[in-house]
């Protein structure tokens, strides 16, 4: 037996001694295993079957009402030195962290089954892919990991070949927010998560491994692990360009990754190919370009707002073989969420009858029927726009990197960075309004560099330096842009229609890449003029377009001074190149 399988067996036994499960089940990823687990979860109430005629093999899971999102305040990066985790992470010394969380794990699986989930992040034969093993007492986690990763026998075989794997230990525990921690030990390639059964807290291959641990490894190994979608845009000439885009949680990655082109674009022959909707691993190729893979195999997407109008590709992939978490249901047992034009929810995400406002135990309650962070889990193969190149072992070459966030004011629809260093500053100084994807206040603007604030497994100052380091003489790096679909007018409504129409902005971006579109230079970067964007058939007013493309100098002076203070908050570790770049923009704004 290989040494990695020895190590795996030994670790499984060690964890079993600590957690005391009644049974250990090694997951092979087979259909029969999946069917048996579904039956089990139906019998325990972990899953509720949805309408078998309209939603065959679709299930609803209701999580504990106090366990509905990622918990950033309970998430730790435990490096030996606190400076290595940085001010962007919560930190505890590794020995102390292990002791604290192991005390919670002690005996926690008594009476339960511990599942051993070998998984591979990325195509099973890609040199860029990495494997892990999650030990969990949650069958819901197993079912989700089966959709979200390449899980089971093939992953185990690769672990044997690779000789190493990331260790993830998870228990739902008591689902008590006071006994909940998500801890990362990057130097030990280890994750320990206790007390939550939800998404990014519990599916350890996703944010914990593919972002926090992977970003740490990527720094020493010369690649990048990013919170980015990857999309292919095929123009009418049949050429496909790949774009990676980082938007914070619940800010539009899934939607952009599978957009359907506006009518005129469809007629002209434009096509959109989905590679990934949440995570991107990219690495410099022999040709100097950055090559990207999607380490995931499925989508764990935001349900509210998903409709035939906003994201028809998503809606179409959700009518069979999907898991819905914390959505509402209709009288005929179909899943429902805010933003769907049809259907009437009768039961809310907590299982409470909606109309029953006379029931002293249940109502009246006026909140949303579906939780704002309710989600669907579905295999990427069910997406009509899923690209055959998503399985390419070498990945796809990137032409552009796009940063963006939710900014109701100031930030224009799109601008282009002058060069790589400016682009890194644009990413490093991103800010966005917070969303329901994490517990805490919603709608508060905060800095979220590269959309990685909750996910970077090391000090942001070192991360910015790592980004800058890709600018080598032989590199053929993608151009960097910033977008904002979320500008609002004085009436409080979004100025830009968004969704499929975002292709109009991507068209300009790709024309800038091949040098066929004009831009006007401003201190914050290069912007299209109104005539450079195709707005045919949009019905958007000239005033609105001007507002979307304006650079408010006074507002940007204030923003740049805040960006300066933000860079300074990382102290002497902040790369000088970023400070110089910030200063030169300040000078240009004052000039």
Give the tokens for residue 87. 């001010």
Binding of ligand GTP at residue 478 (CB under 6 A)? no
518 is in the binding site of which of Mn ion, ligand GTP, ligand SPV, none (Cβ under 5 to 8 A by kind)?
none
> Residue 152 or residue 304: which is nearer to ligand GTP going by CB?
304
Q: Residues in contact with Mn ion, total (CB under 5 A)?
A: 2
Binding mask 245-284 for ligand GTP (x = CB under 6 A): --x-xxxxxxx---------------------xx------
3-state secondary structure 467-490: HHCCCCCCCCCCEEEEECCCCECC
Considering only residues 6 through 65, tell me which ones interact with Mn ion, judged by CB under 5 A.
none
Chain centroid, CA 66 distance in Å: 21
Binding of Mn ion at residue 134 (CB under 5 A)? no
Binding of ligand GTP at residue 440 (CB under 6 A)? no
Binding of Mn ion at residue 278 (CB under 5 A)? yes
Nearby residues of 293 by Cβ (< 8 Å), 6 or more positions away:
122, 123, 126, 128, 129, 275, 276, 280, 281, 282, 392, 395, 396
Binding of Mn ion at residue 296 (CB under 5 A)? no
206 is in the binding site of which of ligand SPV, ligand GTP, Mn ion, none (Cβ under 5 to 8 A by kind)?
ligand SPV
Helix (H, G, I), strand (E, B) or coil at 14: helix
Q: Which residues pair with residue 481 across a beta bridge?
A: 402, 416
Nearby residues of 52 by Cβ (< 8 Å), 6 or more positions away:
none
> Residue 169 or residue 257: which is nearer to ligand GTP going by CB?
257
Q: Residues in contact with ligand GTP, total (CB under 6 A)?
A: 22
Binding of ligand GTP at residue 547 (CB under 6 A)? no
Helix (H, G, I), strand (E, B) or coil at 579: helix
Give the range of 73-81, 247-255, 311-319, 458-466 binding Mn ion by CB under 5 A.
247-255
User: CA 583, CA 577: separation in Å to the nearest integer?
Assistant: 10
Residue with tokens 């007018």, as numbered in its chain:
489
> Residue 134 or residue 278: which is nearer to Mn ion going by CB?
278
Smallest CA-to-CA distance from 259 within 487, 483, 504 is with 504
C-alpha dist (Å) from residue 176 to 67, 99, 168, 171, 208: 8, 19, 20, 12, 20
Q: Assign residue 265 a region (left: φ > 0; alpha: ψ between -120 and 50; beta: otherwise).
A: alpha
126 is in the binding site of which of ligand GTP, ligand SPV, Mn ion, none (Cβ under 5 to 8 A by kind)?
none
Binding of ligand GTP at residue 409 (CB under 6 A)? no
Nearest approach in angstroms of CB 522 to ligand GTP is 23
DSSP 163: S
Nearest approach in angstroms of CB 507 to ligand SPV is 27
User: CA 476, CA 242: separation in Å to the nearest integer?
Assistant: 14
C-alpha dist (Å) from residue 153 to 30, 115, 572: 8, 14, 47
Give the range of 40-48, 211-219, 303-311, 411-419 binding ligand GTP by CB under 6 A.
303-311
Give the tokens for residue 554. 């006074």
Considering only residues 505 through 534, tell me which ones interact with Mn ion, judged by CB under 5 A.
none
- Contact residues for ligand SPV, defined by CB under 6 A: 70, 199-200, 206-207, 249, 278, 300, 437
291 is in the binding site of which of Mn ion, ligand GTP, ligand SPV, none (Cβ under 5 to 8 A by kind)?
none
Give the tokens for residue 324. 């819905």
Q: Which of 119, 223, 324, 485 binds ligand GTP (CB under 6 A)?
A: 485
Evaluate whether 107 touches 15 at the Cβ level (below 8 Å).
no
199 is in the binding site of which of ligand GTP, ligand SPV, Mn ion, none (Cβ under 5 to 8 A by kind)?
ligand SPV
Q: Which of 27, 78, 131, 251 is catalytic?
A: 251
User: CA 201, CA 463: separation in Å to the nearest integer?
Assistant: 23
> Residue 207 or residue 209: which is nearer to ligand SPV going by CB?
207
> Residue 249 or residue 432: which is nearer to ligand SPV going by CB?
249
Helix (H, G, I), strand (E, B) or coil at 228: coil
Catalytic status, residue 108? no
Nearest approach in angstroms of CB 161 to ligand GTP is 31
Q: Assign residue 75 a region (left: φ > 0; alpha: ψ between -120 and 50; beta: otherwise).
A: beta
Torsion 25-323-292-574 (CA) sign: negative
> Residue 138 or residue 255: which is nearer to ligand GTP going by CB?
255
Q: Which of 499, 508, 556, 570 binds ligand GTP (CB under 6 A)?
A: 499
Q: Which of 494, 546, 568, 569 binds ligand GTP (CB under 6 A)?
A: 494
Residues that bind ligand GTP (CB under 6 A): 247, 249-255, 277-278, 301-302, 304-305, 310, 437, 485-486, 494, 498-499, 502
Active-site residue set: 251
């Amino acid at each position: 037996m290989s040494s990695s399988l020895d190590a795996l067996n030994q670790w499984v036994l060690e964890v079993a001694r600590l957690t005391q499960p009644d049974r250990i089940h090694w997951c092979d990823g087979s259909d029969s295993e999946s069917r048996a687990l579904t039956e089990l979860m139906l019998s325990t109430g972990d899953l509720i079957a949805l309408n078998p005629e309209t939603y065959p093999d679709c299930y609803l899971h209701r999580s504990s009402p106090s366990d509905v999102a990622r918990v950033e305040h309970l998430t730790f990066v435990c490096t030996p030195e606190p400076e290595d985790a940085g001010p962007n992470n919560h930190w505890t010394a590794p020995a102390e962290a292990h002791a604290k969380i192991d005390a919670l794990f002690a005996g926690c699986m008594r009476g339960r089954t511990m599942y051993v989930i070998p998984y591979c992040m990325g195509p099973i034969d890609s040199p860029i892919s990495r494997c892990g093993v999650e030990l969990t007492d949650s069958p819901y986690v197993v079912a989700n990991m089966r959709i979200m990763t390449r899980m089971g026998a093939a992953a185990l075989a690769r672990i044997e070949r690779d000789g190493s794997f990331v260790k993830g230990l998870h228990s739902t525990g008591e689902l008590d927010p006071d006994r909940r921690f998500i801890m990362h030990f990057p130097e030990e390639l280890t994750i320990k998560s206790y007390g939550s059964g939800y998404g990014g807290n519990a599916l350890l291959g996703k944010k914990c491994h593919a972002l926090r641990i992977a970003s740490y490894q990527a720094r020493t190994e010369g690649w990048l692990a990013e919170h980015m979608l990857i999309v292919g845009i095929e123009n009418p000439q049949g050429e496909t360009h790949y774009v990676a885009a980082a938007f914070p949680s619940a800010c539009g990655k899934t939607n952009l990754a599978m957009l359907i082109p506006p009518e005129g674009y469809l007629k002209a022959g434009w096509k959109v190919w989905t590679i990934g909707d949440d995570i991107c691993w990219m690495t410099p190729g022999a040709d100097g370009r950055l090559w990207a893979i999607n380490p995931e195999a499925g989508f764990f997407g935001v349900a509210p707002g998903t409709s035939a109008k906003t994201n028809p590709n998503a809606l179409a992939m959700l009518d069979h073989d999907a898991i819905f978490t914390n959505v509402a249901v209709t009288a005929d047992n179909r899943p429902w969420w805010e933003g769907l034009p049809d259907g009437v929810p009768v039961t809310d995400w907590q299982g409470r009858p909606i109309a029953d406002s006379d029931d002293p135990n249940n109502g009246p309650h006026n909140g949303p029927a579906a939780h704002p962070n309710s989600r669907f889990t579905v295999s990427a193969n069910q997406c009509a726009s899923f690209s055959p190149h998503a399985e390419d072992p070498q990945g796809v070459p990137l032409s552009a990197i796009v940063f963006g966030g939710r900014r109701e004011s100031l930030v224009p629809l799109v601008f282009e960075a002058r060069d790589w260093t400016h682009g890194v500053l644009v990413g490093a100084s991103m800010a966005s309004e917070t969303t329901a994807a994490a517990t805490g206040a919603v709608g508060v603007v905060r800095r979220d560099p590269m959309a990685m604030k909750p996910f970077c497994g090391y000090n942001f100052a070192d991360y910015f330096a790592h980004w800058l380091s890709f600018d080598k003489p032989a590199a053929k790096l993608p151009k960097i842009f910033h977008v904002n679909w979320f500008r609002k007018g004085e009436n409080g409504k979004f100025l830009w229609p968004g969704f499929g129409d975002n292709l109009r902005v991507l068209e300009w971006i790709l024309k800038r890449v091949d040098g066929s579109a004009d831009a006007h230079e401003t201190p914050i970067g290069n912007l299209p003029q109104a005539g450079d964007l195709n707005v045919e058939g949009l019905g958007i007013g000239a005033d609105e377009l001007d507002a979307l493309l304006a650079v408010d100098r006074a507002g940007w002076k204030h923003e740049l001074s805040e960006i300066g203070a933000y860079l300074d908050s990382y102290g002497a570790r902040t790369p000088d190149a970023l400070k110089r770049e910030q200063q030169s923009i300040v000078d240009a704004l004052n000039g």
